[in-house]
C-alpha cells in the first residue's frame, strides 16, 4: 500500500507553503488508495508545543485532510537511541569534539584557500586517549554519520534523474552534544519503521535526500520513492516564512476564504490545470498527477486566491452552503452568489434585500420614480416581474437603457451595482419597493 507522510514541526502554525506539501501528499494517497500519516517532528521539545500541534490539526481538518495515522517523534526516543547505538557499533556514527567556533574558523580557512567548506573528518583520526583527554576537559561529543562518499542516484518523480556525490558533503551531525536528535535520523527511522513508500516534499530537501538514502541503506531499510516539488514564493517573489501571518492557514480561514479554494489553488499552482477551481475533492483527486507539477517556483498571490474563491462561490449550489446561510433561501443564494468574493459578503446583500437601505434619488429622477411607483404590478412577484414592470415604465416615461435602469437600481438598493434586479426584486418585495421609491 502507498504510504506517505506530512511531518510538520509543532513550533508554529502552518502557512500555505507547508500546507501545499500536506495537500500534495494527501492527494497522492487518495489517488493511489494509500495512507496519509501526520507525523509531528517534535524532537525540539523546548520549542514544540501542544498548542501548535492542535493548531496544525485544526488547519488540516479545515482543509479537508484527515490523517489515517498520527505519530509523535517525542514518544519514540527509546527507538532512536537503540538505532543510534547500532549505528555506532557498525561504525556509521562517530564522535566529534569540535566546538561551533572551531568549526566556523576551519570553514573560513578552507574557503580562503579556495576549498569547499566540507568537514575534514579530523575526528576519525583521534585515538581513544585523545577522546578521553577531550572529555576530561569537559567536552561532550556530537555524532556524525559517516557518508560513503559516492554518487547517490534516484529518479525523482517530479525532477527526473538526480545525482549527488556525497563526497562533496560534510558528514551530517545527527546527534547534538546534549544527546538530542536533529531532524535527519528520526525522520529516516520513522520512514523505515512506518513503511513510507513515497516522500513528497519541497526541493529544499534534495541534497538532504542523498544523505537520507545512505542512512536508510545503513539501517537495511527500503528506500522510498522521492518527489521534490518547487517552493512557493509570495507575490513579491520572496520565500514564505512559517510565521508570516497573512499566509497562514488559520488567517486564511479567519479571512473568509473557502477551504476548497485554498486546496485547489495550492494543488494546481505550477500546473496547466490552474485556470479554474475544482469544486470538490473528487474532481481534484481525479485530475491529480505529480508529473503535472512544474519545477519552476510558483508565486502565491492572495489576490489570485480571492479571484479563485469568487469563481468557486459563483459555481457553488445552495445545498453546499445552506448550513452556513441561516434564514436565507435558495432563491436568495442564486440571486447574490455571482456578486460575492467571500461567503461573508452575502450579509451586504441580505441588508439590501431586507433593509435598512438609504435610497439614492437624484432630483431630476423624482418624477420618473413617481411614475415607476405607479406602474408597480400587484403581488405576488416572480422572476418575470422586473421585465414586465420596466416595460411598463419605459412605455410611460420614454426612458430606456441606463437612464431607465440605473435610477431604479439606486432607489431600490442604494447602490449602482449588484445582482440582477430580475432576481433581487421578488426578494425585496412590493412593500419595501414602494417605500424606497417613495423616499
Q: Are residues 123 and 205 in the same domain?
A: no
Q: Are residues 302 and 283 in the same domain?
A: yes
Q: Are residues 62 and 207 in the same domain?
A: yes
* Percent of the chain that is helix, strand, coil (3-state, to 5): 50, 15, 35
Q: Are residues 314 and 362 in the same domain?
A: no
CATH label of the domain that carries residue 117: 3.90.800.10
In a domain? residue 339:
no
Question: Which three-class secondary structure state does DSSP give residue 121?
Answer: coil
How far apart CA 9 and CA 56 sit, in angstroms, is 9
Of the residues 175, 206, 222, the one at which a domain ends: 175
Question: Which three-class secondary structure state does DSSP give residue 101?
Answer: helix
From the DSSP assignment, how many helices (H) and strands (E) are in the chain? 19, 12
How far apart CA 184 and CA 173 sit, in angstroms, is 9
Residue 15, strand partner residues: 248
pTM of the entire structure?
Answer: 0.90
pLDDT in tens, the chain (439 residues): 999 999 999 998 898 989 999 999 999 999 999 999 999 999 988 899 999 999 999 999 999 999 999 999 999 999 999 999 999 999 999 999 999 999 999 999 999 998 889 999 999 999 999 999 999 999 999 999 999 999 999 999 999 999 999 999 999 999 999 999 999 999 999 999 999 999 999 999 999 999 999 999 999 999 999 999 998 887 777 776 544 555 889 999 999 999 999 999 999 887 767 666 687 899 999 999 999 998 888 888 888 899 999 999 999 999 999 999 999 999 999 999 999 999 999 999 999 999 999 999 999 999 999 999 999 999 999 999 999 999 999 999 999 999 999 999 999 999 999 999 999 999 999 999 999 999 8
Q: Are residues 191 and 42 in the same domain?
A: yes
CATH label of the domain that carries residue 271: 1.10.1160.10
Q: Are residues 134 and 210 in the same domain?
A: no
Range of the domain at 368: 354-437
Q: Are residues 281 and 312 in the same domain?
A: yes
Count of the separate structural domains present in the chain: 4
CATH label of the domain that carries residue 203: 3.40.50.620
Of the residues 301, 319, 337, the one at which a domain ends: 319
Report residue 99: phi and psi, to 5°.
Answer: -80, 170
In a domain? residue 336:
no
Amino acid at each position: 500500500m502507498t504510504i506517505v507522510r506530512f511531518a510538520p514541526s509543532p513550533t508554529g502554525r502552518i502557512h500555505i507553503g507547508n500546507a501545499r506539501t500536506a495537500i500534495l501528499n494527501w492527494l497522492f494517497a487518495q489517488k493511489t488508495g494509500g495512507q496519509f500519516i501526520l507525523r509531528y517532528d517534535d524532537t525540539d521539545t523546548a520549542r514544540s508545543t501542544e498548542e501548535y500541534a492542535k493548531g496544525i490539526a485544526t488547519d488540516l481538518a479545515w482543509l479537508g485532510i484527515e490523517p489515517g495515522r498520527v505519530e509523535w517523534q517525542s514518544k519514540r526516543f527509546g527507538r532512536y537511541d537503540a538505532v543510534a547505538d547500532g549505528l555506532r557499533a557498525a561504525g556509521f556514527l562517530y564522535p566529534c569534539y569540535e566546538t561551533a567556533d572551531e568549526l566556523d574558523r576551519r570553514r573560513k580557512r578552507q574557503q580562503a584557500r579556495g576549498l569547499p567548506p566540507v568537514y575534514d573528518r579530523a575526528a576519525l583520526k583521534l585515538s581513544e586517549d585523545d577522546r578521553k583527554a577531550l572529555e576530561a576537559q569537559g567536552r561532550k561529543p556530537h555524532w556524525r554519520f559517516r557518508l560513503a562518499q559516492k554518487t547517490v542516484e534516484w529518479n525523482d518523480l517530479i525532477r527526473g534523474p538526480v545525482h549527488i556525490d556525497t563526497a562533496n558533503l560534510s558528514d551530517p551531525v545527527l546527534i547534538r552534544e546534549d544527546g538530542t536528535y536533529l531532524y535527519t535520523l528520526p525522520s529516516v527511522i520513522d520512514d523505515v519503521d512506518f513503511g513510507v513508500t513515497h516522500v513528497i516534499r519541497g526541493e529544499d530537501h534534495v541534497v538532504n535526500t542523498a544523505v537520507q538514502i545512505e542512512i536508510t541503506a545503513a539501517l537495511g531499510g527500503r528506500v522510498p520513492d522521492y518527489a521534490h516539488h518547487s517552493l512557493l514564493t509570495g507575490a513579491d517573489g520572496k520565500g514564505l516564512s512559517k510565521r508570516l501571518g497573512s499566509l497562514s492557514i488559520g488567517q486564511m480561514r479567519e479571512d473568509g476564504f473557502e477551504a476548497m479554494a485554498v486546496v485547489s489553488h495550492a494543488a494546481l499552482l505550477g500546473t496547466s490545470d490552474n485556470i479554474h477551481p475544482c469544486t470538490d475533492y473528487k474532481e481534484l483527486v481525479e485530475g491529480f498527477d505529480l508529473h503535472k507539477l512544474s519545477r519552476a517556483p510558483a508565486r502565491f498571490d492572495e489576490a489570485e486566491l480571492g479571484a479563485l474563491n469568487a469563481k468557486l462561490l459563483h459555481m457553488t449550489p445552495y445545498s453546499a452552503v445552506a448550513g452556513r446561510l441561516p434564514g436565507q433561501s435558495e432563491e436568495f443564494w442564486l440571486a447574490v452568489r455571482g456578486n460575492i468574493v467571500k461567503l461573508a459578503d452575502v450579509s451586504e446583500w441580505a441588508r439590501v434585500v431586507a433593509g435598512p437601505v438609504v435610497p439614492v434619488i437624484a432630483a431630476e429622477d423624482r418624477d420618473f420614480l413617481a411614475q415607476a411607483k405607479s406602474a408597480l404590478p400587484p403581488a405576488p412577484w416572480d422572476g418575470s416581474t422586473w421585465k414586465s414592470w420596466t416595460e411598463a415604465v419605459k412605455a410611460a416615461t420614454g426612458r430606456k437603457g441606463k437612464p431607465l435602469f440605473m435610477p431604479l437600481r439606486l432607489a431600490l438598493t442604494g447602490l449602482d451595482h449588484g445582482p440582477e434586479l430580475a432576481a433581487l426584486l421578488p426578494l425585496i418585495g412590493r412593500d419595501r419597493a414602494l417605500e424606497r421609491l417613495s423616499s
